[in-house]
């Protein structure tokens, strides 16, 4: 690679980092506004069947890459099939906001990764099979993760680890991805992107940690099988699975309340602060999330998995007397399902401090091993 080409890629990486920070900042603010509107006017939940109908019609007319989720963007890094469109970022931005407004249970990190992956892939003029495209697509996904959660180290490690550390020792790849992630982080600081700060992890008992060693893999398995079961069975509904699924979700939310709709950031924060939750919170969120995503609504899985892991840890903690299990539980279910125990430990460090690294890593490592080949980001 010539010096000129390296400089062009470096400038592209900086541009990707800026776009990542700006798009994630805009989405976080828009999402907060949408969630406030739904809490103030619960009747918004009745739009979800119509949202499903509009998405169904749109996907019939839009190109195939508008169907892509995080899985497809990760696969494109090493197995290129077709380039994305920058308009996909606008599509996923708007459709995800409408899903949250309608009471669906989805996350936001998928939006960050997809928005930045589609912007980088669609705007930068590199050939589909080129190394440059592979590097910058990986950089855009890392920067999107870092910008959405304010965790640059985890954003960097997560994308490498999810790809089994392929090409880890390519100094050019690492340099360009780090440049993109660092740019997105400091641009986020400049924009004052709102991220929740948590108190440090103080430790836990062996008894409580042992119970989490059993609970985390079980819940990760339950999420995986529930998601794939709903995805498989809902396909029998054909083209109408989104509007019919939207109606089912609306009825559930209407009768049982909005506690498990949307991100659930407020409940995550309360659970982490108090170490307490309702004993069935993790099951309620798991069911509504796998239903929403399994039916085909987009949005991401990370924040719902934070909710599930945190409330699971709190429930176990109420049995063992540990108030800190919610913190390591929050990141460990995610790490198990994505096969990223190292990134889980780094994420725990960035959110909860150094004492959270080892227990979070061990929980995610055991969960990942027990899941075997079951992986959240693999094609159906």
Contact 314, 277 (CB under 8 A): yes
Does a structural domain hold residue 171? yes
Domain boundary among 147, 167, 191: 191
Domain that holds residue 360: 206-371
Who's near 94: CB < 8 A, 6+ residues apart?
none
pLDDT at 120: 87
Please give the pLDDT value at position 237.
87
CA distance 115 to 11: 19
Work out the angle between the directed axes of helices 171-191 and 131-149 (0-180°, nearest 10). 30
Q: Domain boundary at 168, 191, 214, which?
A: 191
d(CA 376, CA 374): 7
C-alpha to C-alpha distance for 262 and 264, rounded to whole angstroms:
6
DSSP letter at 297?
A: -
Indicate if 214 and 186 belong to the same structural domain.
Answer: no
**Cα gap 283→304, rounded to integer Å:** 11
* Orientation angle between helical segments 87-101 and 3-40, nearest 10 degrees: 20
Tokens standing for residue 116: 């930045």
Distance CA 332, CA 310 (A): 9
Residue 336 falls within a domain, yes or no?
Answer: yes
User: pLDDT by residue (tens digit) across 197-206?
Assistant: 789 999 999 9
What value, to the nearest 5°, has the Cα angle with vertex 251 and ends 246 and 253?
95
Nearest of 320, 107, 334, 347 to residue 219 by alpha carbon:
334
29 plus 165 within the same structural domain: yes
Please indicate, yes or no, whether residues 324 and 224 belong to a single structural domain of this protein.
yes
| Cβ neighbours of 257 (radius 10 Å) | 12
Locus of tokens 């609504």: 297
CA distance 34 to 94: 11
Q: How many helices (H) does the chain have, and how many strands (E)?
A: 16, 0
Give the separation between CA 130 and CA 135, rounded to whole angstroms: 9
Q: Along the chain (380 residues), what's the average pLDDT of each consecutive run of 10 residues?
A: 85 94 94 94 95 89 79 87 87 93 90 88 85 91 91 92 80 92 94 87 94 97 96 89 95 95 93 94 97 90 95 95 94 95 96 96 96 80
**Domain presence at residue 147:** yes
**Gyration radius from the chain CA atoms:** 20
Point out the domain boundary residue: 191, 226, 254.
191
Q: Is residue 201 part of a domain?
A: no
Q: Identify whether residues 179 and 225 lie together within a single domain.
A: no
Q: Does pTM top 0.85 for this prediction?
A: yes
Tell me how crowded residue 194 is: count the other CB atoms within 10 A of its CB.
Answer: 11
In the DSSP assignment, the letter for residue 151 is -
What is the C-alpha to C-alpha distance for residues 147 and 283, in angstroms, rounded to an integer? Answer: 29
Whether 110 and 24 map to the same domain: the answer is yes
Instruction: Check whether residue 169 and residue 273 sit in a common domain.
Output: no
pLDDT of residue 84: 86
Question: Does 129 share its domain with 273?
Answer: no
Q: What is the DSSP letter of 200?
A: P
Residue 121 lies in a domain: yes
- Is there a single domain that holds both residue 157 and residue 130? yes
CB of 260 closer than 8 Å to CB of 284: yes
User: Could you tell me if 160 and 251 lie in one domain?
Assistant: no
pLDDT in the model for residue 380:
44
Q: At 252, which CATH number?
A: 1.10.3080.10
CA 121 to chain centre: 20
What integer pLDDT is reported at residue 2 of this predicted model? 79
Classified as helix, coil or strand, 38 is: helix
The answer to whether residue 200 sits within a structural domain is no
CB atoms within 10 A of CB 222: 17
One domain for residues 187 and 320: no
**Does 143 reside within a domain?**
yes
Residues 252, 106 share a domain: no
CA distances from 106 to 214, 285, 301 (A): 26, 10, 6
225 with 169, same domain: the answer is: no
Give the angle 60-64-68 at the CA atoms, nearest 5°: 115
Domain count, the chain: 2
Asked whether residue 379 is domain-assigned, the answer is: no
């Amino acid at each position: 690679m010539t010096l000129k080409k390296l400089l062009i890629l470096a400038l592209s990486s900086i541009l990707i980092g800026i776009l990542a920070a700006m798009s994630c900042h805009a989405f976080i603010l828009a999402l907060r506004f949408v969630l406030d509107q739904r809490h103030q006017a619960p009747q918004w939940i009745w739009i979800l069947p119509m949202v499903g109908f509009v998405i169904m019609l749109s996907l019939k007319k839009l190109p195939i890459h508008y169907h892509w989720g995080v899985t497809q963007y990760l696969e494109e890094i090493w197995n290129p099939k077709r380039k994305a469109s920058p308009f996909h970022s606008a599509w996923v931005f708007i459709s995800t906001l409408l899903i949250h407004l309608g009471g669906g249970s989805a996350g936001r990190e998928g939006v960050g990764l997809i928005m930045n992956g589609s912007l980088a892939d669609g705007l930068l003029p590199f050939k589909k099979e080129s190394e440059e495209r592979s590097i910058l697509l990986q950089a855009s996904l890392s920067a999107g993760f870092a910008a959405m959660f304010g965790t640059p180290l985890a954003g960097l490690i997560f994308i490498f680890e999810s790809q089994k550390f392929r090409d880890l020792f390519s100094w050019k790849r690492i340099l360009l991805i780090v440049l993109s992630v660092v740019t997105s982080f400091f641009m986020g600081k400049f924009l004052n992107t709102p991220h929740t700060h948590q108190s440090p992890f103080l430790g836990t008992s062996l008894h409580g940690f042992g119970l989490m060693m059993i609970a985390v893999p079980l819940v990760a398995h339950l999420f995986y099988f529930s998601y794939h079961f709903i995805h498989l069975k809902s396909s029998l509904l054909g083209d109408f699975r989104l509007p019919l699924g939207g109606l089912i979700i609306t009825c559930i939310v209407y009768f049982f309340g909005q506690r498990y709709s949307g991100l659930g950031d407020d409940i995550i924060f309360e659970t982490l602060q108090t170490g307490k939750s309702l004993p069935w919170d993790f099951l309620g969120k798991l069911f509504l999330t796998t239903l929403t995503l399994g039916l085909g609504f987009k949005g991401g899985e990370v924040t719902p998995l934070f909710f599930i892991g945190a409330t699971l840890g709190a429930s176990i903690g109420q049995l063992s007397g540990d108030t800190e299990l919610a913190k390591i539980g929050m990141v460990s279910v995610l790490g198990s399902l994505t096969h990223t125990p190292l990134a889980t430990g780094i994420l725990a460090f960035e959110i909860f401090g150094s004492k959270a690294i080892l227990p979070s890593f061990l929980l995610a490592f055991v969960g990942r091993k027990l899941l075997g080949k079951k992986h959240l980001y693999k094609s159906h």
